[in-house]
Amino acid sequence: MQKDTGSGGTSTSSGPTSRFRRRKSSNEVPPEDDKANGSHLLVNDHNKYKSMLIRTYSTVWMIGGFVLIIYMGHLYIWAMVVVIQIFMAKELFNLLRRAHEDRHLPGFRLLNWHFFFTAMLFVYGRILSQRLVNTVTTDKFLYKLVGRFIKYHMVTCYFLYIAGFMWFILTLKKKMYKYQFGQYAWTHMILIVVFTQSSFTGANIFEGIFWFLLPASLIVINDIAAYIFGFFFGKTPLIKLSPKKTWEGFIGASVTTMISAFVLANILGRFQWLTCPRKDLSTGWLHCDPGPLFKPEYFTLPEWFPGWFPWREISVLPVQWHALGLGLFASIIAPFGGFFASGFKRAFKIKDFGDSIPGHGGITDRMDCQMVMAVFAYIYHQSFVIPQSLSIEMIMDQILMNLTYEEQRALYMKLGQIIMERQFGES
């Protein structure tokens, strides 16, 4: 496929969710080449409709499964993310694998997975440790065990990594150096760029499913809208890197995404199941005060508003303004994740990263923008959303988790002293 420079448009895998698709052709050829062929080619293209059917079918199944998992809860959503991460790692590890060299290096593939699971223990250990503590507080023995685990978590991961590092050096084979160092670097790039980035999704889930579901949906909506707008109105090429993407698709998708973000946040923001943070690792029902962000504010529409509009008053959740920030990012910057991936594929003459989903190519191909978005959603949430009152709770958790009873008392005394001193200093 990857050398096909014709314009028949038989591509089955850079599918409907590819962004800002140009109308004329679905092949990755430089724009000069397919300008020559008219846009009429689309009509003659039977394969295109067949492959669209396959894609639609697998898409419906994916969406159904996804909704079920959302309903099941935080732990299951996180498990889904982990499974996706394992598939992505598998696809990417295999990408630069050369069977001939590997035959001379027994156990060398295993090393990749050793590093993968070390990274997993490290990243998820950090994200989930507090929740793990909260889950076992009732059992004194488990509580102590988990406390130990957290205290020595970093040093454990470090020694696992060092073990892999020494394993790598001790199994270096003459004449294989270049291949082995190349693989080592590649493994690290995957773990950092793909695994670590996508792990932010895990953190978002436990901050409230809302913070995972809204960004992820916006990426999908932007994808589909770009495809549709590009399909019907696409004319002006957007970027040389991806000749199928057009300005019409890009702009149409941006507007759609912004509107969807605003509306979707209003809908999702009304379910406590989605807005409450999950502070432990159980899967039971959630109740919480969702805080001011999710409390509707009512605006009366001005008099001059057209009479046919059904409502005289609208309710807006403050979180909807944040949703616009996420929408802006999802439509303007996240697509660069896709450009990066397609540039990478062109540089190394790869058609797709894998073939895990029928009609969609590899899982990694569908996740490029999602990863960029997950990191942004996390940082946005941490920097602009978490209210000050929550940070009291975070420090409180730290105190209860890290300090012994005596130390907690000592801290209490010390803090009281400082507050007293300040009071006297001011009055």
Nearer to a second copy, 52 or 150 (CB): 150
What is the 3-state composition of the chain as percent helix, strand, coil, each rounded to the nearest 5? 70, 5, 30
Q: Does 387 bind a second copy (CB under 8 A)?
A: no
Nearer to a second copy, 138 or 310 (CB): 138
Among 96, 343, 351, 358, binds a second copy (CB under 8 A): 343
Give 326's Cβ-side CA count (13 Å radius).
34
Q: Does 389 bind a second copy (CB under 8 A)?
A: yes
Size of the site for a second copy (CB under 8 A): 67
Minimum separation from the CB atom of position 360 to a second copy (A): 23
Q: Report the DSSP beta bridge partners of residue 298.
A: 315
Contact 335, 266 (CB under 8 A): no
The three-state (H, E, C) secondary structure of 185-219, written as one string:
HHHHHHHHHHHHHHHHHHHHHHCCCHHHHHHHHHH
Nearer to a second copy, 46 or 174 (CB): 174
Among 302, 388, 425, 427, binds a second copy (CB under 8 A): 388
44/9 Cα distance (integer angstroms):
10
Minimum separation from the CB atom of position 273 to a second copy (A): 27
Nearer to a second copy, 83 or 379 (CB): 379
Structure tokens at 266: 């209003």
Q: Does 379 bind a second copy (CB under 8 A)?
A: yes
Interaction pattern, residues 149-188, with a second copy; x per rule: CB under 8 A: --xx-xx--x---x--xx-xxx-x-x--xx-xx---x--x
By C-alpha distance, which of 160, 11, 375, 319 is closest to 168? 160
- Give residues with Cβ within 8 angstroms of 188, minimum separation 6: 115
Nearer to a second copy, 238 or 261 (CB): 238
Interaction pattern, residues 286-325, with a second copy; x per rule: CB under 8 A: ----------------------------------------
Burial of residue 171 (CB within 10 Å: 0-12, 13-18, 19+) is middle
Contact window for a second copy (CB under 8 A) among 15-23, 141-149, 284-292, 343-351: 343-351
Report 390-409 residues binding a second copy (CB under 8 A). Answer: 391-392, 395-396, 398-400, 402-405, 407-409
Three-state SS at 238: strand
Minimum separation from the CB atom of position 315 to a second copy (A): 29
Strand intervals (E) in 208-339: 237-239, 242-246, 297-300, 313-316
Residue linked to tokens 């499913």: 209
The three-state (H, E, C) secondary structure of 37-83, written as one string:
CCHHHHCCCHHHHHHHHHHHHHHHHHHHHHHHHHHHCHHHHHHHHHH
Q: Does 189 bind a second copy (CB under 8 A)?
A: yes
Q: Does 36 bind a second copy (CB under 8 A)?
A: no
372/271 Cα distance (integer angstroms):
26
241/219 Cα distance (integer angstroms):
20
Nearer to a second copy, 30 or 38 (CB): 30
Minimum separation from the CB atom of position 204 to a second copy (A): 15
Q: Does 348 bind a second copy (CB under 8 A)?
A: yes
* Residue numbers at the binding site for a second copy (CB under 8 A): 30, 151-152, 154-155, 158, 162, 165-166, 168-170, 172, 174, 177-178, 180-181, 185, 188-189, 192-193, 239-241, 333, 336, 339-340, 343-344, 346-348, 375-376, 379-380, 382-384, 388-389, 391-392, 395-396, 398-400, 402-405, 407-412, 414-416, 418-419, 422
